[in-house]
Amino acid sequence: MTRSSALYLRSIALGAYVFTSGLLSSPLASLADTNTDSLRNPLQPEGSWSELQGDIVGDIVPKPAQGILDLDAPYRAHDAATVPIVIHQSSANAPSIGKALLIIDENPAPVAAELTFGAAMHPIDMEIRVRVNQYSNVRVVAETTDGPVMAGRFVKASGGCSAPATKSPELAMSQMGQIRAKHFTPNVDKSTNRREAQIMIRHPNYSGLQRDQVTQLFISAHFVNYIEVRQGEETLFTLEGGISLSENPVIRFQYTDNGTDDLVIRAEDTEGNEWLKTIPKDVES
């Protein structure tokens, strides 16, 4: 069984992912809300977290992440199937994050992503697009050098996990596994060799809750369950995903360029497919 198959099955069985080796966090976003009354949309007290917390983080109680990391998300999503979530640390002096969980409380499989970060990712600045199935708290629980912390936002969105795919199954399958990546120039910070990059993996990421628009039968779950991005032999980050990742997963991130090695991207899905691509740093692909 692949990593993502196990993650998915445990999420469905428990209503949450049982994380036994420590606390994880989730991606953060600095996205402005168009509603001026909700420029700050913190976590709401209502919801399922009280039932999920024990299965996801056990007895550990993370402290508020203020000053360590931020999670921002649109208060009202334009498209519930592609909601941008960004993890962001505003200072290089913030505690380092080793692991993180991105959790969407009200989704059928609440753990959207399990992340690990290499040293070159610090300070974390990453955006991931996810599906939100109904009005929900979206939270990040992060394992830092100063202990576990949590941040989050409340997002108004519905139907993201069952939204029809944008392409026919035949077309989606014919393009599956294509990896595109690019660097943004100039460097974010030339004095520290910080660079910004984006990767996109073509994959329908079927959630198991969508219907074929012709037959109206449910499409079996089939999604990207593992992504690894390296700078040469150095791991920048890994992501174990579930059904909450958007169709054609997109990840935008900053990292410290070592000046020599190209980016290497590896992706796996729940059917055992594996794709590998090397991206020269100075060439868009």
3-state secondary structure 44-106: CCCCCHHHHHHHHHCCCCCEECCCCCEEECCCECCCCCCEEEEEECCCCCCCCEEEEEEEECC
Q: Identify the CATH number of the domain in which residue 211 sits.
A: 2.60.40.10
How far, in whole angstroms, is CA 177 from its chain's centroid? 18
Looking at residue 34, its pLDDT comes to 43
Q: Is residue 88 part of a domain?
A: yes
pTM given for the model: 0.85
In a domain, 285, yes or no: no
pLDDT number for residue 191: 81
Contact 231, 258 (CB under 8 A): yes
Tokens of 279: 């991206």
Q: What is the pLDDT of residue 148?
A: 96
Residue 69: its pLDDT value, please?
Answer: 95
Which pLDDT score is estimated for 40?
A: 62
**C-beta of residue 243 within 8 angstroms of C-beta of residue 221:** yes
Contact (Cβ atoms closer than 8 angstroms) between residue 136 and residue 152: no
Tens-level pLDDT at each residue, the chain (285 residues): 444 444 444 444 433 333 333 333 333 333 444 444 345 678 998 679 999 999 999 988 899 999 999 999 999 999 999 999 999 999 999 999 999 999 999 999 999 999 999 999 999 999 999 999 999 999 999 999 999 999 999 999 999 999 988 888 888 889 999 999 988 877 777 788 899 999 999 999 999 999 888 888 899 999 999 999 999 999 999 999 999 999 999 999 999 999 889 999 999 999 999 999 998 876 554
**Cβ 231 vs Cβ 263: under 8 Å:** yes
Considering the domain boundaries, does residue 36 fall inside one?
yes
Residue 25 has what pLDDT? Answer: 34
Largest CA distance in the chain: 56
- Range of the structural domain that residue 193 is part of: 3-279
Which of helix, strand or coil describes residue 217?
coil
pLDDT at 188: 76
pLDDT of the residue at 45: 85
pLDDT at 223: 97
Predicted local confidence at residue 6, as pLDDT: 46
- Token pair of 31 as six digits: 């996205």
221 is a domain residue: yes
Query: What pLDDT, on a 0 to 100 scale, did the predictor assign at position 41?
Result: 79
How many domains does the chain fold into? 1
| Residue 284, domain member (yes or no) | no
